Amino acid sequence: MSTNKDYKWVGTSPIRPDGADKVTGKAAFGADKNLPGMLHGKILRSPYGHAKIKSIDTSAAESAPGVLAVMTSKDLPDLASEMGEAGESAVDFRDLSQNILAAGKVLYHGHAVAAVAATSPKLAKQALKLIKVEYEELPVVLEIEDAMADDAPILHENQFTPGGSQDKPSNIAGKMKLPRGDIEKGFAEADVIVEREFTTPTVHQGYIEPHAVTASMSASGHADVWCCTQGAFVVRAMTAKVLNMDVGKVKVTPSEIGGGFGAKTTVYLEPIAVKLSEMSGRPVKMVMDREEVLRATGPTSASVIKIKLGATNDGKLVAAEGTLKYGAGAYKGSPMGPGCMCVFASYEIPNFVVRGFDVVLNKPKVAAYRAPGAPMAAFAMESVMNEMAGKLDLDPIDFRLENAVKEGSVAAYGPKFPAIGFVETLKAAKEHPHYSAPLGKNQGRGVGTGFWFNIGMQSSATLNVNESGSVTLITGSADIGGSRASMALFAAEELGIDYDLITPLVSNTEEAGYCDVTGGSRTTFATGMAVVKASKNLVANMKKRAAKTWGVEVDEVLWQDGQAVPPFSSGKNPMSMAEIAASAAKTGGPLTASASLTAQGAGAGFGVHICDVEVDPETGKTDVIRYTAIQDAGKAIHPAYVEGQYQGGAAQGIGWALNEEYVYNDKGVLQNFGFLDYRMPVANDLPMIDTVIVEVPNPAHPYGVRGVGETPIVPPLAAVAEAVNNAAGVRITDLPISPPRLLAEIDAK
Amino acid sequence: MESVQYHAPQSLEEAVPLLKQARQTPSRILAGGTDLLIQMRAGVKSPEMLIDIKKIPETTGFEIGADEIRLGAAVPSAVMDESPELHQQLPGVVEGMELIGSTQVQGRATPGGNLCNASPAGDGAPAMIASSGQCVVFGPNGVRTIPVEEVCTAPGRTSLADDEFIQEFRFPTPKAGQADAYLRFIPRNEMDIAVVGVAANITVDAGGICTAAKVTLGAVGPTVVIATEVAELLVGTKLDDATLEKAAEIASGLGSPISDKRGTAEFRHRIAGVLTRRVIKIAATRAGERL
Amino acid sequence: MSKAHVTTTINGDVVEYLCEPDQSMLEVLRDNLELTGTKEGCATGDCGACSVSLDGRLVCSCLVLGVEAEGKQIETIEGIADGSELHPIQQKFLENAALQCGICTPGFIVATKALLAKNPDPTEEEARYFLAGNLCRCTGYDKIIRAVLDAAAEMRGAAS
C-alpha cells in the first residue's frame, strides 16, 4: 500500500500557503467584508423560552431614523415540510425557515422574531426596541425525559412520533432501532453484567468567530453573499430554498472561517441579509455577537444514555443493550442516528439492541458538532467498558483488544469493515510510555476510545497551469484547519513540482466546481481525491503535449519529477512543466484540468486517548496533568495539522467532560451566555497534548487517507471521567465533572 | 439613546464641575472600564456622561510610607502586580487584583473600579477589607475617608453619592509579623469569576502566637462578609491544625450564598471553609517571614 | 453630542479619527479605520481576539473606548511585521502550525509579543498563565505554546 512509498511532499509539514496573511491580520474573515453604502442588520429575539406570537407591529421601527427595512417571517415564503441535505445531515427546510425567523411560535429564548436594516448598528439596535411583539407565554420543557412524558408541553402540534399515535402530537420526533442476534440469550451467557445510565449536557462548539454575512441583492435578482461557512454550496442551497430563489441566482463567496466544528454547515443570517438587501436596495451586513451565538445557534445535544453490557469471565463481550435519548432543541434532527450507529461500532458483540429517540425541547436547534452524536455515546459505552474491565480484573486496553473490530468484522451499523486500525491504535496506546508512567497522590489515569465513520460526498478540483509552470489549484472546500496545504501537497506530489509553485484557492460557488461542506472529516479525503484525480488528468494532458512536441506516441512519454521524459530512442531532452506550459499555445492551448467525484470508501477512524488527572479532594477541582491522543490517520498528508486535529479534538472533549454546559433557569433562559461562564479550556487548563499518528492505509484512497478531524473528540469524555474515577475513588456518570458535582460524589462515597 | 459625553479631567479641580453636573446627568465614573463598558454595551447601564478619572494624578500612583500605603484608585492591577514593593507589603491585596480576568483585563482593571462595581464576587474587596483599607472619597466639597467595607451596600450598589468617586485607598503599612493573603476558587485555572474568595490578614509574634487577625469572605453574601468569629478564634492560638479546622468550620457557616451558574450555595459554604483554612496558613507563613 | 476628535498613533502612524464617545477602540479600529486584523470574538474581554498594545500595555481593545486613545501609542497585529518581513513570533507560529482557523492568531501574536517583552525566557507554565486570556478552540494550545517558546528562544538568540 502507498503509505510505505517514498513521497517527496506527502507526509511533510510545510508552512500553509494562507499562513502569512493569517499571522499579519490580512486574512479576511466573515466580519471583515464591507461594501459601499452598506446597511447593518440586527435581529429581535424572543425573551421567552416558549410562547405564541399573537401579533408583531413593526410600524414604529419602519419609520425610525436610519431604518430602511424591517422583516418578519411573513416576508419569507411559506415552505412545505421537505427534507434536504444540510452539510452532512438532513434538514427540513420548513424548520430551517422557521428557525431563521419564528412563525407563529417562538420555541426557545433567543429565537429570531424580526430583523431590521439601518444605516448603523446602533440605529438598527434602537429600532429593534420599537418593534412591538405580543406574546402568550407557554410552559417550557428543557429536559429530555420531561419532554418525552405524556403530559409534556408540546412544541409542535403537527409532530407525531413515527410508529406512535398519529392523533396525539409528541415531542419524540424520531426513533431508531438497531438489533443483532438475541440479547436475552446473550445476557444469559454473560458472567458479568454492568448497567448504568449516563447524562451529558448541552454544549456549544465554541468557535471564536461569530457568524457573519454581508449580502447584496442586485436589481437583476442576483444575490451576492459573503459569509464564514464550512460550505459555500450548502449556504447557497439553503438560502435559495428559504427565499424561493434558483440556486443559480445566489453566489456565495466563503470568507476565511474562524472555526466551525460542524456548526457552520447551516444558515441563520444569510437569507435574512439577502432579503433585507432586496427590501432596501442596499448591501446589508449582519454580525452576531457572542451572546447571540450561544443563545441562538446550534449547540449539540444533551443526552441520556443507558448501557447494559454483558461479558464472560474471559473477557468476551456477549450482549449489549443501549438506549440513547438525544435532545434536538426546537426542531427535530438531533444526531441520535449516528449516536446509535456508533455506540457499539468499535466492538464485536454477537447480540445487541440499540434504541434511539430524537426529542424536541425549548432550546436552540442543535447543529453538527465534530463527530455528531458520537462523543456522548462513547462516554457511556467506554465508561461501561472501563468498569467492566475493572470487574473482570483485566487491563482496559487488553479487554478492548479482546473485542476490537478488525478487517472483516461486521460493523454494528451494517457494513463489513475493510482494513481498519483499531487494533494497531490500541497496541500503540498500550506501548506508549504514558500508559505505564507512575502516578502521584490524588492522581488517576483513564483511557477511552473513539470511532467515527468519516464521510466522502462530492468534491471538485481544478488546476490551471500558469505560463511559468506554476499552478493555481481551485476548490470549493472551506479551509478550516490547513486543508489548502494538504491540497497543495497532493498536487505537488502528483505533478512532481515544488509545493511552493502551487497556489491553492478556496473559491466561490460560481467559480469553483461543486464541493460539499468541509465536515465529516471529508476534505483531505474527498477533495484531496479530486485534486489527485485532476492532477493525474493534467499529467496525462502534459504528456500529450510533450508527445506532440517530440512527435512521439503519448504512451512512450513518462512523467518523472515534474518533467515529461521522452523515449530514449527519440534523442530528445526531457521537458519541464515550465517548458510545456510556455509552449502550450502551440500544442493545444492553456493547460487546465478538473475532476469531480462522489468519494466512496471514507475509511473509519479509531482513536485511543490516555488521560491523567489530579483531583483536589477538598474542592472537587480536576486538573488534567498529562494527555496522549493516539489515532489512525490512514496516511497523514500534513502531519503537523493531523496532530493539530488530535490535540484540538482532545481539548474540546476535555472541556465537555470537565466544565462546559448550558445552564438554564426554569423559564428556559440561558444563564451563561458568554465565554466568562461558558467555560471552555484556557491555555493554563491544559498540558501539552502528546500525539501518536498510526497509519493503517485506507484502501479506498490513492494515498491511504482516512478522515482525522472528528474522531479526536470522541474518546476524551470517558478517558477524563475514568481518570477522575481512579483519582477520587468515585464513579462518574453525569457530565460535566464540575467541582460542585465531583465534591458531592466524593462526599457520597 | 443619544451619544454619551466623555470627559477626562486632568486634576481633581477640573473634576469638580463635572461632578456637580453629575448630580443632574446620569453619569458613571470611568476607571479601567472592564465592567462598565460591558454593562453599557449590554444596555444594563446607560450613562449620559462618563468621567474618566485616569488622568488625575492622585488616582494613578502609589506610595509606600512607613505608616501608610497610598494606592491610587485607578492604578491598573498589572501595574500593582509589577511592583515588588506592593507585593512585599500587601501581597493579599495584590493577589486579589491580579486574579481579575486575563493579562489583558489586568492591563485596565483598577481597585477603585473593582470595588465600585460592587459585585458580590469581586476579587479586590476581601483583601482590601482584611488589610483595613480606607477609601479617600472625593467630591465637590472635598474629601472624606471611609473604610472599604462601607462602600458596597448591595450587589451593584455603593454608598457613594452621584457626585463622588474614590480617589485613593490607604492601608496601614503592615508591622513586623503581619501579612495578608487572598485565595479564591474558580472551576478553571484563570478567567473565571470567584465562586468564593477568602482573604486573611494575620499578625504573629516571635513565639508564633497570633496576636491579631482579620478574615473576610467574598461571594458568600451580597457584600463581603467580615468573619469576626473566625478572627476571634485565631487570636491567642498558634494557628495549629485543630484551630484552623475549627476556623474552616465556622467560615463554612457564614454568609448567605446563592446557588447560580457558578456553584451551589452548599458548595460555596464548603469551599469558604477550605479556603479559609488555606489562606490563613499562607498569611501566617508570610507573617512569620516578616518577623 | 457630536463625535469626538481623537489624535493618536497607531503602528507608528499618526492617525486622526472621529468616533462616538461610547465606541470601543475595537470598533474604531475595525469599522472606522478598516484595521480588521484585530478580531472580535466576544466584546466582553473574555477571548483576547481583540488584543492590542496601548502605551506598551496589553489590553483588550473591546474594553477601551476609542476616545481614550487620545495621545497614546497603539500597536495592532498590522504593526507587528517589519514591512514585508515577518516578526519571529509570526514566523514561529507558521513553522509550528500554531494556527488552524486563524481567528485567534492576531490576538495571540500581539499577546505573545507583550509576554516576551516582559519575560524573554518564559517557562511553559508562565506562557500558559500569561496567555490564558486568549482563547483558542482549534489547537488545544499545544502548538501555540511551542511556537511561543520557540520564538522566545530565537529572539533571545538574536539578542545575545
In tens, the pLDDT along B177-227 reads 999 999 999 999 999 999 999 999 999 999 999 999 999 999 999 999 999
d(CA A45, CA A432): 51
CA neighbor of A13 nearest in space, from A719, A747, A691: A691
Among residues A735, A674, A669, which one has the least CA distance to residue A301? A735
Q: How far is A129 from chain C (nearest CA, A)?
A: 19
Amino acid found at C23: Q
B5-7 and B49-52 as β-strands: parallel, antiparallel, unpaired? parallel
Residues 6+ apart with CB under 8 A from B13: none
pLDDT above 50: residue A559 = yes
* Binary contact (C133, B6; C-beta < 8 A): no
Task: Give the distance from residue A748's alpha carbon to the nearest chain B alpha carbon, in angstroms.
Answer: 14
> Of C25, A676, C44, C21, whose CA–CA distance to B35 is shortest?
C44
Please, what is the end-to-end C-alpha distance for chain B in angstroms? 58
Contact B111, B128 (CB under 8 A): yes
For the purposes of burial, counting CB atoms within 10 Å of the CB of A596, is it exposed (0-12), middle (13-18) or buried (19 or more)?
Answer: middle
Contact A674 C46 (CB under 8 A): yes
Give me the pLDDT at residue A605, please: 97
Q: Where in chain B do CATH 3.30.390.50 domains reside?
A: 178-289
Chain A segment 675-694 residues within 8 A of C by beta carbon are: 675-676, 680-686, 688-689
Burial of A193 (0-12, 13-18, 19+ CB in 10 A): middle
Chain C stretch 110-149, residues whose beta carbon is closer than 8 A to a beta carbon of chain A: 124-125, 127-129, 131-146
- Angstrom distances, CA of residue C97 to CA of C85, C94, C101, C105, C132: 19, 5, 11, 11, 19
Instruction: Please give the residue of chain C at the shortest CA–CA distance from A640.
Output: C97
The residues, any chain, with a CB within 8 Å of residue A369's CB and separated by 6 or more, are A203, A204, A205, A261, A262, A263, A298, A299, A300, A713
**CATH fold of B5-172:** 3.30.465
CA neighbor of B110 nearest in space, from B24, B34, B172? B34
**The pLDDT of residue A3:** 45
> Quick check: B189 and A685 CB within 8 A?
yes
Q: C116-158, pLDDT tens digit by residue? A: 999 999 999 999 999 999 999 999 999 999 999 999 999 999 8
Selected residue of A39, A203, A205, A208 to mutate for chain C interface (largest C Cβ count, 10 A): A208
Q: What is the structure's pLDDT at B224?
A: 98
Q: Predicted confidence band at C2 (pLDDT cuts at 50, 70, 90)?
A: confident
- Give me the pLDDT at residue A289, please: 98
Match domain A33-138+211-287 to its CATH number in 3.90.1170.50, 3.40.50.720, 3.40.190.10, 2.60.40.1120: 3.90.1170.50
> Which CATH number covers residue C154?
1.10.150.120
**DSSP-assigned beta bridge partners for residue B143:** B138
Compare all CA atoms of chain B with the CA of C25 and give the residue at the minimum distance: B37
What are the chain C neighbours of B37 within 8 Å (beta carbons)?
Answer: 24, 62-65
pLDDT digits (tens, 9 = 90+) for A249-261: 999 999 999 999 9
Predicted confidence band of residue B2 (pLDDT cuts 50, 70, 90): low
A653-686 core/surface letters (b: 16 or more CB in 10 A; e: else): bbbbbbbbbbbbeeebbbebbbbbbbbbbbbbbb
Residue B267 has its nearest CB partner, among A126, A672, A740, at A740
Q: What are phi and psi of A196, to 5 degrees?
A: -150, 155
**3 state SS for A425-438:** HHHHHHHCHHHHCC
Residues of B in contact with C132 (CB under 8 A): 102-103, 189-191
Sign of CA dihedral A511, A513, A519, A522: negative
- pLDDT at A319 (0 to 100): 98
Residue A143 CB neighbours (<10 A): 16
Q: How far is CA A522 from CA A357, A536, A602, B75, B242, in A?
A: 27, 20, 8, 52, 62
> Beta strand pairing status for A689-694 and A605-616?
unpaired
For chain A, give the percent of residues with pLDDT over 90.
Answer: 97
Q: d(Cα C47, Cα C135) in Å, to the nearest integer?
A: 5
What is the β-pairing status of strands C51-54 and C13-19?
unpaired
Q: Which helix (H) or strand (E) holds A579?
A: helix A577-582
- Digit-coded pLDDT (tens) for B107-141: 999 999 999 999 999 999 999 999 999 999 999 99
Closest Cα in chain B, distance from residue C61 (Å) = 9
| Mean pLDDT, residues C60-75 taken together | 98
In chain B, residues under CATH classification 3.30.465.10 are 5-172
pLDDT of residue A304: 98
Domain holding C116, by residue range, is: 88-159
User: Strands B68-72 and B165-172: what pairing?
Assistant: antiparallel
Q: List Cα–Cα distances, A678 to A259, A294, A592, B117, B262, in angstroms.
A: 17, 9, 49, 22, 10
- B60 neighbors B52 (Cβ within 8 angstroms): no
State the DSSP H helix or E strand holding residue A276, giving kind and residue range, or none if neither.
Answer: helix A270-280
Provide the pLDDT for residue C18.
Answer: 97
Among B239, C143, C17, B35, residue whose Cα is nearest residue A646: C143
User: Could you tell me which residues of chain C have a Cβ less than 8 Å from any Cβ in chain B?
Assistant: 1-4, 20-22, 24, 43-46, 48, 51, 54, 57-60, 62-65, 67-68, 70, 111, 114-115, 129-134
Q: What is the mean pLDDT of chain A?
A: 97
Chain B residue nearest residue A616, CA to CA = B274
Per-residue model confidence (pLDDT) at position C114: 98
A486 three-class SS: helix
pLDDT in tens, A639-668: 999 999 999 999 999 999 999 999 999 999
- C38: chain A residues, CB-CB within 8 Å: 25
Please name the residues in contact with A271: beta carbons below 8 A apart, sequence gap of 6 or more: A76, A97, A100, A238, A239, A242, A243
**DSSP summary character for residue A32:** G
Q: Is C67 on the interface with A (CB under 8 A)?
A: no
> What would the grid cell of residue A87 be?
452539510
Query: Topology of domain A2-27+456-599, per CATH?
Result: Aldehyde Oxidoreductase; domain 4 (3.30.365)
Q: Is the pLDDT of residue A2 over 60?
A: no
| Predicted confidence (pLDDT) per residue in A167-212, tens digit | 999 999 999 999 999 999 999 999 999 999 999 999 999 999 999 9
Of B190, B263, B266, the CB nearest to A684: B190
pLDDT at B1 over 60: no
Of C128, C142, C58, C152, which is closest to residue C99 (Cα–Cα)?
C142
Nearest CA in chain A to B265: A740
- pLDDT tens string B183-192: 999 999 999 9
Residue range A349-398, pLDDT digits in tens? 999 999 999 999 999 999 999 999 999 999 999 999 999 999 999 999 99
Pairwise CA distance, residues A739 & B114, whole Å: 26
Query: CATH 3.90.1170.50 residue ranges in chain A?
Result: 33-138+211-287
% chain A with pLDDT above 70: 99
**Residue B264 predicted with pLDDT over 80:** yes
Residue C74's CATH number: 3.10.20.30
Residue A482 near chain C (CB below 8 Å): yes
Which residues touch A540 (CB under 8 Å, ≥6 apart)? none
The number of distinct structural domains making up chain C is 2
Determine the CATH number of domain B178-289: 3.30.390.50
Q: What is the DSSP-derived secondary structure letter of residue A510? A: T
Nearest chain B residue to A125, by CA: B1
| B273–chain A nearest CA distance, Å | 10
Question: Cα–Cα distance between B272 and A618 in angstroms, integer?
Answer: 11
Query: Would you tell me which residues 23-42 of chain A have a C-beta closer than 8 angstroms to some C-beta of chain C?
Result: 23-29, 31-32, 34
**Is residue C37 very low, low, confident or very high in pLDDT (cuts 50, 70, 90)?**
very high
Q: Is the pLDDT of residue B155 over 50?
A: yes
Return d(Cα A92, Cα A101) in angstroms, integer. 15
Q: What is the nearest CA distance from C90 to chain B, expressed in angstroms?
A: 20
Which strands sit side by side in the sheet containing B27-30, from one edge to the other?
B5-7, B49-52, B27-30
Q: Which residues does residue A179 pair with via DSSP β-bridges, in sequence order?
A: A353
**C-alpha closest to that of A456 among A498, A538, A516, A380:** A516
Model pLDDT, residue A218? 97
Over residues B268-279, mean pLDDT: 98
Q: How many CB pairs under 8 A join A and C?
A: 180
Task: List Cα–Cα distances, B244 to A685, A744, B241, B248, B285, in angstroms.
Answer: 30, 23, 5, 6, 13
Per CB distance under 8 Å, which residues of A are interface residues toward B? 126, 618-621, 623, 658-659, 663, 671-672, 675-677, 679, 681-685, 738-740, 743
Q: How many whole angstroms separate alpha carbon A39 and alpha carbon A348?
A: 58
Is B109 an interface residue toward A (CB < 8 Å)?
no
Query: H-type helices in A311-444, by residue range?
Result: 336-343, 374-391, 396-403, 422-431, 433-436
Residue B143 pLDDT more than 50?
yes
Buried b (16+ CB within 10 A) or exposed e, A344-363: bbbbbbbbbbbbbbbbbbbb
A120 at interface of C, judged by CB pairs closer than 8 A: no
Instruction: Please list, in sequence order, all residues whose beta carbon lies within 8 angstroms of the beta carbon of residue A25, skipping any fewer than 6 positions away.
Output: C35, C36, C37, C38, C76, C77, C78, C106
Task: For chain A, give every residue range classified as CATH 3.30.365.10.
Answer: 2-27+456-599
Q: How far apart are CA C37 and CA A21, in angstroms?
A: 10
Q: Which residues of C touch B104 (CB under 8 A)?
A: 45, 48, 51, 58-60, 63, 111, 133
Q: Pick from C95, C99, C144: which is nearest to A22 by CB?
A: C99
Distance separating alpha carbons of residues A521 and A341, to the nearest angstrom:
17
CA distance C90 to A362: 45
E strand residue ranges, chain B = 5-7, 27-30, 49-52, 62-64, 68-72, 134-139, 142-147, 152-154, 157-158, 165-172, 178-185, 196-204, 210-218, 225-226
